[in-house]
Amino acid sequence: MKPSFFANLESVCRKKQSLLCVGLDPRFECTDPKEAAQRMLQRNREIIEQTLPYAACYKPNIAFYEAYGLDGLKALKETLELIPKGTPVILDAKRNDIGQTATAYARALFDYYGVDSATLNPFLGRESIRPFLEHRGKGLFLLCRTSNPESGDLQALEVYRKNPGGGRSHTTCPLYLEIAREACSWSPDIGLVIGATDPEALETVRDQLPGAWILCPGIGAQGGSLEAAVRAGLREDGLGLLLVVGRSIYQDPNPGQKAQAFRDRINWEVAGSRNRRTARSLRREIRRVALLEEIIEQGCLKFGSFRLKSGAISPHYLDLRQIISSPGLLSNVAEAYEELLRPLVFDRIAAIPVAAVPLAAAASLRLGKPFIYPRLTVKGHGTGNAIEGFFEKGDRVVLLDDVISSARSKLEAIKILEGAGIEVTDLVVLVDRESGGREEIERRGIRFHAFARISELLQLARTRGLTGVPKKEEVGV
């Protein structure tokens, strides 16, 4: 089975140690289409041959070829055939339409031209992208924050988030960020186009979508800083960012040397950024352990003999209901949930009663996201609601709880939510008791996220010399 575009892209980037995307955009004046086609094909052959060792991928812009009619499009087709198989190609087409028109565009890009990926405009919504996604294994880069000077007239507009109760929400964000969140929720085969001319937007989107691939034009002639783009947009694993260089390489008399110089500049900055990210990760881990110690100090971890909801007997019990008695601890726990929730795409939080309700409320306030909760016991009075709070059919929710053991209560909640037409995409918990619940949830196709494991808490308790802590062999963790 052929790997997906992004899987192949990651493999090539690692193999070549490159995040450089070379633009194949022939820019010259010529009145004879046949002569123009010959010139562009000759130059493209030179560019590809000389830059191939340094380029992770190539990006021809279809407009420069279409300008010369059939002769230009034939040159594009022949250019694509010059690029060795296995080398990723992104056709910069920025197509956008719906229905059969979008289907025809998709066939042109992926069947006729045979490219691996294309740039698209998401303005018409998911239905305009769906025909392209039907071509399995292809990659899509959707316009988000483009590099042209006046793109901010629309893309940087502050927009109100959807308020489920009607009226306007009190929180706003730039339009490009809403586009990024929504577009990346449509498929794992979708990346984003964000220009190097706005490193703040790069950093904002990377913070919200840590795993997304970003195509980053605007370096060189448009004034974007390569170094700032890498610092802002690089993923934690040193990938996730393609830096597009077009004219600076294409018009250089020694394109191979120029490509190597850009590749080396990128790698130099990547090395420095990874060191900085390692330091940030270390600081984040220190804060994480400090929160676990605070949970222990609050008396949430108890030792003895306890019957769990599943009926099993445990030598330890984690009572996170104690958190609400300490405003400072509750605030820190809300920050931990925010860290888990922020990269996810969802409409609202669904808390499992009763322990998780105040925790979800605190996380909701930090994120500006509404929350609901299903009633695990049928309400026999008042409205008789099975789910408290406003929601709409088709909403995507993240299930939130304090701990997970056997996942029984989670499965009960999922049944109620799905019965109301709500899609449960993820489960977040503060602590995984490592009792098989995670595996049960993942078997349901729901993504699982935990801030910590019970084994970590027990080890901290042993390190602190607390009495009554069971030995590893007694609990298996």
- How is 91-108 classified by DSSP, letter by letter? EEEEE---HHHHHHHHII
In single-letter form, the type of residue at position 402 comes to D
- Torsion angle (degrees, nearest 10) of CA 10, 190, 336, 285: 10
> What residue ranges in 375-468 does DSSP mark as E strands?
387-388, 396-404, 423-432, 447-453
Residues 6 or more apart whose CB falls under 8 angstroms from that of 50 comprise 254, 255, 256, 259
Residue 254 CB partners (closer than 8 Å, separation 6+)? 50
Could you check whether the bond before residue 354 is cis, i.e. omega within 30 degrees of 0?
yes
Residues in the chain: 477
DSSP 8-state assignment for residue 318: E
In the residue annotation, 94 being an active-site residue is answered as yes
* Residue 442 to residue 455: CA distance in whole angstroms: 20
Residue given tokens 């399995």 in the structure block: 136
Instruction: Quote the radius of gyration of the chain (alpha carbons, Å).
Output: 26
The residues, ordered by sequence, that sit 6+ positions from 296 with a Cβ below 8 Å of its Cβ are 457, 460, 461, 464, 466
Nearest to 309 by CA among 242, 355, 241, 359: 355
For tokens 């304090």, what's the residue? Answer: 402
Paired strand residues for 400:
351, 428
> How far, in Å, CA of 85 to CA of 9, rounded?
12
Catalytic annotation, pick one of 34, 74, 77, 94: 94
Amino acid at 327: P
Instruction: Return the ∠ at Cα 184 (arms to 180 and 187), rounded to 5°.
Output: 160
Two structure tokens written together for 256:
């191979």
CA-to-CA separations, 405 to 11, 280, 337, 356, in angstroms, rounded: 37, 31, 18, 14
In sequence order, the 6+-apart residues with CB closer than 8 A to the CB of 384 are: 378
β partners of residue 432: 404, 453
Whole-number Å distance between alpha carbons of 246 and 252: 10
Point out the residues that are catalytic: 94
